[in-house]
Structure 1
Amino acid sequence: MTYPAAFRIAIVSLTFLLAGTVKGVTGMGLPTVAMGVLGAFMLPAEAAALLILPSFITNAWQLLAGPRLLVLFRRFWPMIAGIACGTMLAASLMTGSKTHWAVLGLGTVLTLYAASGLLAWRFTVPARHEHRLSPLIGVVTGLITGGTGVAVVPAAPYLQSLDLKKEDLVQALGMSFTVSTIALATGLAHAGAFAIGDVRDSLLAVVPALAGMWIGQRIRGRISPASFRRWFFLCLLALGLQLIVRQIV
């Protein structure tokens, strides 16, 4: 469906303002929220193209703010390599005749991620298994990212299971998301779904995303984290189910 230019600008601005606010409060969630909301108004490839610069800038900021980048890269490079390869291989799923499956996949990923958050699923990965699991987690995350534009599953739960210090976890997530964004842009460009014109539109989305982060950082100290997470996951669940129903009905 084609929407008037003013409506499209308003939806994109409000979406990235909301997504940035979520990231400001929780440290993650910008691509997840943006893809979930925009997926109801445009094709996943269009939404992913808009996401490139806001996601890259906010995640690179998160990545570079920590003190242990080289240490974490040496530890997690097999996962990072898997994410990059998987994302570039699967990016074509969001283009051409495969868009139905991309939307259905996006809805499924959002629903499962929301359910895991609401049910507070927690698990621990022993250090002795990390060298075997990291490449697999990376490839699976990359394939899901390339097909849906959402880079949180299963990399984020996996990193949370490793008992990292808070600062290391935030920086490792930033590294994972930054690489996912670069690989997604590369894959979409190779598939002809991301060009110079998309850079301009994506750049316009940076302003509301950063404004949202500023708002979120100020909300963080005034709201119960548990309450915020519950409403965040409930909204993601509603978005995911809506996308699934729209594709199968």
Structure 2
Amino acid sequence: MSHFFTVITPELFLFACVVTFLGGFVKGAVGFAMPLIMVSGMGIAIAPELIIAGIVLPIVVSNILQVGRAGLGQARDAVVEHWRYIVAVCAMILVSAQFLRRIPTDTLFIVLGVPVVILCLIQIAGWRPVIAARLRRPVEYAAGIVSGMLGGLTGTWGPPTVLYLLALGTPRDRQMSVQGVIYGLGSVMLFLGHVQSGVLNAQTWPFSAALVAPGMLGMWVGFRLGDRFDADRFRQVTLWVLVIAGVNLIRRGVMG
């Protein structure tokens, strides 16, 4: 235990657990934003490289659970339909993860903060792109590359995936199963990528493993309570909170 707290202080570990619980709660309640909340929330006080290491295992476990809830049959159908996007996402997560440790800390705060702010503002604005049928194949690859690059560096490829599915006109009830597959496979690539990059190592993996429990507890509470409030309003409030937290990450990067 004393070795564990050479990586993070007890106070910051407790703070990370609270943030992870909140991220799990939101994911359980409305199905998104767990990595965004963990990155932007922990970024208030924790070093960015440790944040990325910390989110890996909770994301892997939560996304596997999401795939399981959707059912294996729907998962198989999602892979068949969206395999180009999935391959591009997974490949780019593996590649971009290798560059994380080469980015200076101040710059990394900006790298983490800017996508959070932009992606949340896009969702708040309700912008919905449209993909013409003749452009679907190249757009699938291009969108997958962009999502995977963000995923490897920031641990989140959810919002770009949502925009991609909306642009294809994917029915709402099918979106959750498709997202579960994309998030699940991507999270495995994130794990492998950061084992290779050295971000997830003998010093940092216990921290990541310790965050699995509060994340899963938060998801369970979110599943239980999600039907008791207005999901759309809760989603909007969450996005605005994430915008503020993302701006704070950018501020830390700019001001040092």
TM over 0.5: yes
Q: Which runs of 5+ in 1 are unaligned?
A: none
The answer to whether the 8 Å contact 2:109/2:253 transfers is: yes
Determine the structure 1 residue equivalent to 2:41. Answer: 37
What amino acid is aligned across from residue 125 of structure 2 in structure 1? L
Instruction: State the aligned residue count.
Output: 248
Q: Pick the aligned partner of 1:63 from 60, 67, 84.
A: 67
Matched residues in 1 for 2:105 and 2:131: separation?
Answer: 35
Match of 1:47 in 2: 51
For the Cα contact (< 8 Å) 2:106–2:254, is it kept in 1? no
Assess, with a 3 A threshold, how the Cα gap between structure 1 residues 196 and 162 changes in structure 2: closer, same or farther.
same
In the other structure, the counterpart of 2:246 is 240
Aligned to 2:14: 10
Counterpart Cα distance in 2 of 1:16 and 1:123: 31
Please report how far the alpha carbon of residue 142 of structure 1 lies from its aligned counterpart in structure 2 after TM superposition: 0.7
Alignment partners' CA distance in 1, 2:132 and 2:224: 36
Match of 1:25 in 2: 29
One-letter amino acid of the counterpart of residue 40, structure 2:
G
Rounded to whole Å, the distance in 1 between the matches of 2:129 and 2:8 is 46
Matches within 5 A, 1:222-241: 222-241=228-247
Contact 1:44 1:148 in 2 (8 A): no
Encode CA deviations 1:135-178: one digit per residue, 9 max, x unaligned: 11111111111122222242221112222233421111112212
Distance in 2 separating the partners of 1:222 and 1:99: 41
Local SS of the residue matching 2:158: coil
Q: 1:72 aligns with which of 56, 73, 78?
A: 78
Alignment match of 1:111 (pick from 117, 133, 136): 117
What residue in structure 2 maps to residue 220 of structure 1? 226
| Counterpart code for 2:28 | G
1:184 maps to 190
> Using the alignment, how far apart are the partners of 1:193 and 1:226 within structure 2?
36
| Structure 2: gaps of 5 or more residues | 1-5
The normalised TM-score by structure 1 is 0.92
* Cα distance in 1, alignment partners of residues 103 and 31 from structure 2: 35
Judging changes above 3 Å, is the alpha-carbon distance between structure 1 residues 96 and 124 closer, same or farther for their aligned structure 2 residues?
closer
Question: How far apart, in 2, do the equivalents of 1:130 and 1:75 lie?
Answer: 12
Q: Does 1:199 align with 2:205?
A: yes
**Do 2:57 and 2:191's aligned partners in 1 also have CA atoms closer than 8 Å?**
no
CA RMSD, 1 decimal:
1.9
Deviation at 1:97, TM superposition (A): 4.3
Q: 1:186 to 1:4 in 2, by over 3 A?
A: closer
**% of aligned pairs identical?**
22
Distance 1:236 1:205, change over 3 A: same
Cα pair 2:19 2:42 within 8 Å, conserved? yes
8 A Cα contact 1:146 1:184, kept in partner: yes
TM-score (norm. length: structure 2): 0.89
